[in-house]
Amino acid sequence: MKATQTYCFAVLFLFCSFSISTAAVTGDCVNCHTMHNSQDGSAVAHSGIGAGWNGGEISGGDSTASQGNLLVAGCVGCHSNVGSDTIVTIGTTKVPIVYNQAEPSLPLAGGNFYWVEASGDAYGHNVAGISSADGAFAGKPPGTLAFNPGEGLLCSPCHFDLSVPQGTGWTWGTNNGGCEACHVPRHHANGDNPVVGQAEGWYRFLGSAMYRASNNEMVTPTGVVGIEDDDWEQTVSAADHNVYQGAVGYAGAGAGGGIVDGAIGQICIGCHGQFHHSYAGTANTGSGMMDASGAWIRHPADVLIPGTGEYADFNTYDPLTPVGVLNVSAGDANFQAIDNSRNVVNCISCHRAHGSPNPDMLRWDYNNCQTGTANVECGCFSCHTAKDQ
């Protein structure tokens, strides 16, 4: 999401609107902000658990809690809906919904937190304001790298437990966890590049959350790069989709390196480091994708997709299994042909970041993937094209 900003004074607040670029924030200021939290004798702002869009207004949750920047809701409230629609339109403002209290009709690219609440911890990320900590992992996500005793507190909770309420005090400062453990929102970023970067607030606001927490700055020096689909993939096809920057390797990335390649997988590595390529040179000691002999011990991530053998017939982009692109440029928008010199498999090729109706937040039902049986709804067969024959 990116926007160009038209500035206004408070006296003109009710009449101010924002100009837009593709998939940008737009509309009247009052769609997102309130001057006095009062309209016709009722509160305007609503936040916390239960807050969300209900028709043309936000309701539920807590109507008296303070809100930064005079917002009518926090991240969860603004991007929640009591109904099943996954884009809420208020005037000319379009709001992507990532948490529906009813089963979502057309989930967006990142999925939906509905299923972690409806089906259990295995079906989505546990995020503050939506769900409590995952009962199976004691506050540490699967694939967490081993730290010395106490060392992990330096990076908690952003890299450990997204369910810790925002504003919790830690030894290093105040928690900007929950949604802001991954996203650093800059709704008024004024860039208009087709490949979203720092000027646009980074791809889907996926900036360096640890930099944000440490420096209390919204303009982070590193973040994810990509091309944003204009309806957040509510409609999606091989010719209508997001474009995600990928990278190859990641040896040492994340160990203080942050999002050095603009790749979406580097957001994931902060919590799930062991599931990636060699991390800080420790792949041969049980971390990463290979053991000391070079054998795969985990599914490859952040690697180029081969163009031979069983992969030879994977030559057209499949929105069920989105692949990353090295060094994304404007010409990559809605690309359809697979390029084995540039396309990589990454975390979101298999998983939806917010949640899905399938265990492990998978994009498809893994239990229905049977070798020797054709099944276009099994994403495994998108790359492994000979396995269903």
pLDDT tens for each residue of 165-197 = 766 665 555 666 788 888 999 998 988 999 999
Burial, 232: exposed, middle or buried (Cβ in 10 Å; 0-12, 13-18, 19+)? buried
Residue entry with tokens 């440029």: 329
pLDDT at 104: 97
- Give CA–CA dist 362/63, Å, rounded: 36
The DSSP letter of residue 42 is B
The two structure tokens encoding residue 131: 């769900």
pLDDT at 8: 34
Q: Are 49 and 131 in contact (CB under 8 A)?
A: no
- 254-285 core/surface letters (b: 16 or more CB in 10 A; e: else): beeebbebbbbbbbbbbbbbbbbbbbbebbee
265 forms bridges with which residues in the sheet?
none
- pTM, two decimals, is 0.87
- Give CA–CA dist 113/157, Å, rounded: 19
Tens digit of each residue's pLDDT (9 = 90 or more) over 354-383 = 999 999 999 999 999 999 888 999 999 999
The two structure tokens encoding residue 264: 């979406």
Residue ranges for the chain with pLDDT beneath 50: 1-23, 148-152, 251-256, 280-284
Q: Is the peptide bond before 157 cis (omega within 30 degrees of 0)?
A: yes
- Give CA–CA dist 58/74, Å, rounded: 11
pLDDT at 317: 98
pLDDT at 99: 97
Strands 17-18 and 80-81: unpaired
Q: Are 301 and 264 in contact (CB under 8 A)?
A: no
To the nearest 5 percent, what fractions of the chain are helix, strand and coil? 20, 15, 65
DSSP letter for each residue of 328-371 = --GGGTT--B--TTTEEE-GGGTB-SSB-SSGGGBSS-GGG--T
